[in-house]
Structure 1
Amino acid sequence: LLLSLLPAIPLAASHSWPLHQLDVKNAFLNGDLLETIYMDPPPGFRAEGEYSGKVCRLRKSLYGLKQSPRAWFSHFSDVILGMQFVRCHSDHTCFIRRGSNSLCILLSVYVDDIIITGDDTPGIAQVKQDLGRFFDVKDFGSLRYFLGIEVARSRHGISLSQRKYVLDLLQDTGMLGCRPASTPMDPNLKLTVESGELLSDPSGYQRLVGRLIYLTNTRPDLTFAVSVVSQFMHALRTSHLDAVYHILRYLKSSPGLGLFYVSETQSGVSCYTDADYAGSKTDRRSTSGFCTFLGDHLLSWKSKKQAVVSRSSQGTCELLWLRFSLSELGFLVQKSSELFCDNKSVLMLASDSVLHERKHIEIDVHFVREKVRSSVIVPSFVPSSKQTADVFTKFVGPTLLQSFVIKLGFS
Structure 2
Amino acid sequence: MNHNGHYVYLLVYVDDILVTGSSSSLVQRIIEDIARKFFIKDMGALGYFLGLKAIRTPNGLHLMQRKYITDLLNKVDMLHAKPVSTPLPSSPKLTLNSSTTLSDPHEYRMIVGSLQYLALTRPDISYAINKLSQYMHRPTTDHWQAVKRVLRYLSGTLTHGIFLQKQKNPMLHAFSDADWAGDSDDYVSTNAYIIYLGSQPISWTSKKQKGVARSSTEAEYRSVANTAAEVRWVVSLLRELGLPIRQTPTIYCDNIGATYL
Q: TM-score, normalised by structure 1?
A: 0.60
Q: Distance in 2 between matches of 1:344 and 1:111?
A: 47
* Aligned match of 1:209: 112
Deviation digits for residues 174-216 of structure 1 (CA, Å, limit 9, x no counterpart): 1122111110011113111111111111111100100111111
Q: Is the CA contact (8 Å cut-off) linking 1:266 and 1:296 kept in structure 2? A: no
1:170 equivalent in alignment to 2:101: no
1:199 equivalent in alignment to 2:102: yes
* Aligned match of 1:340: 252
How far residue 335 of structure 1 moved from its aligned partner, in angstroms, is 1.6
Q: Distance in 2 between matches of 1:117 and 1:189?
A: 47
Q: Distance in 2 between matches of 1:216 and 1:239?
A: 22
How far residue 266 of structure 1 moved from its aligned partner, in angstroms, is 4.2
- Does the residue aligned with 2:153 lie in a helix, a strand or coil? helix
- Does the residue aligned with 2:158 lie in a helix, a strand or coil? coil
1:106 equivalent in alignment to 2:9: yes
The match for 2:87 among 179, 184, 207 is 184
1:161 equivalent in alignment to 2:64: yes
Letter in 2 for 1:99: H
- Does the residue aligned with 1:335 lie in a helix, a strand or coil? coil
- Does the residue aligned with 1:182 lie in a helix, a strand or coil? coil
Q: Distance in 1 between matches of 2:200 and 2:169?
A: 7
Q: Is the CA contact (8 Å cut-off) linking 2:87 and 2:125 kept in structure 1? A: yes
Q: Is the CA contact (8 Å cut-off) linking 1:180 and 1:253 kept in structure 2? A: yes
Deviation digits for residues 253-306 of structure 1 (CA, Å, limit 9, x no counterpart): 111111111223242211111101100011111000001111112110000011
- Does the residue aligned with 1:142 lie in a helix, a strand or coil? coil
The match for 1:327 among 239, 244, 251 is 239
Q: Distance in 2 between matches of 1:312 and 1:186?
A: 26
Q: Which stretch shows the higher mean deviation, 142-151 or 322-331?
A: 322-331
**Any gaps of 5 or more consecutive residues in structure 1?**
1-96, 350-411
Q: After the TM superposition, which segments of 4 or more aligned residues of structure 1 sit over 6 Å from their partners? A: none
Deviation digits for residues 211-266 of structure 1 (CA, Å, limit 9, x no counterpart): 11111111110100111111011211100000000000101111111111122324
- Does the residue aligned with 2:247 lie in a helix, a strand or coil? coil
Q: Distance in 1 between matches of 2:152 and 2:241?
A: 41
Bigger radius of gyration: 1
How far residue 340 of structure 1 moved from its aligned partner, in angstroms, is 0.6
* Aligned match of 1:305: 208
How far residue 119 of structure 1 moved from its aligned partner, in angstroms, is 1.5
Q: Distance in 2 between matches of 1:254 and 1:266?
A: 31
Deviation digits for residues 121-149 of structure 1 (CA, Å, limit 9, x no counterpart): 21111111110111111111111101000
* Aligned match of 1:381: none
Letter in 1 for 2:202: L
| Aligned residue pairs, count | 252
Q: Distance in 1 between matches of 2:92 and 2:14?
A: 40
Q: Distance in 1 between matches of 2:241 and 2:138?
A: 46
1:234 equivalent in alignment to 2:137: yes
Deviation digits for residues 362-391 of structure 1 (CA, Å, limit 9, x no counterpart): xxxxxxxxxxxxxxxxxxxxxxxxxxxxxx
* Aligned match of 1:262: 165
Quick one: percent identity of the two aligned structures?
Answer: 38
How far residue 337 of structure 1 moved from its aligned partner, in angstroms, is 0.7
Deviation digits for residues 137-170 of structure 1 (CA, Å, limit 9, x no counterpart): 1111111101000000011210000111111111
Q: Distance in 2 between matches of 1:320 and 1:145?
A: 31
The match for 1:272 among 168, 172, 175 is 175
1:251 equivalent in alignment to 2:158: no
* Aligned match of 2:216: none
Letter in 1 for 2:141: T
Q: TM-score, normalised by structure 2?
A: 0.94
Q: Distance in 1 between matches of 2:249 and 2:141?
A: 44
Q: Which stretch shows the higher mean deviation, 151-160 or 306-315?
A: 306-315
- Does the residue aligned with 1:141 lie in a helix, a strand or coil? coil
Q: Is the CA contact (8 Å cut-off) linking 2:95 and 2:184 kept in structure 1? A: yes
Q: Distance in 1 between matches of 2:48 and 2:92?
A: 36
Deviation digits for residues 294-346 of structure 1 (CA, Å, limit 9, x no counterpart): 11121100000112331111101111111111111222212211011001111
Q: Is the CA contact (8 Å cut-off) linking 1:288 and 1:305 kept in structure 2? A: yes
Q: Distance in 2 between matches of 1:104 and 1:190?
A: 48
Q: Is the CA contact (8 Å cut-off) linking 1:270 and 1:339 kept in structure 2? A: yes
- Does the residue aligned with 2:44 lie in a helix, a strand or coil? strand
Q: Distance in 1 between matches of 2:45 and 2:203?
A: 24
Q: Is the CA contact (8 Å cut-off) linking 2:8 and 2:27 kept in structure 1? A: yes
- Does the residue aligned with 1:140 lie in a helix, a strand or coil? coil
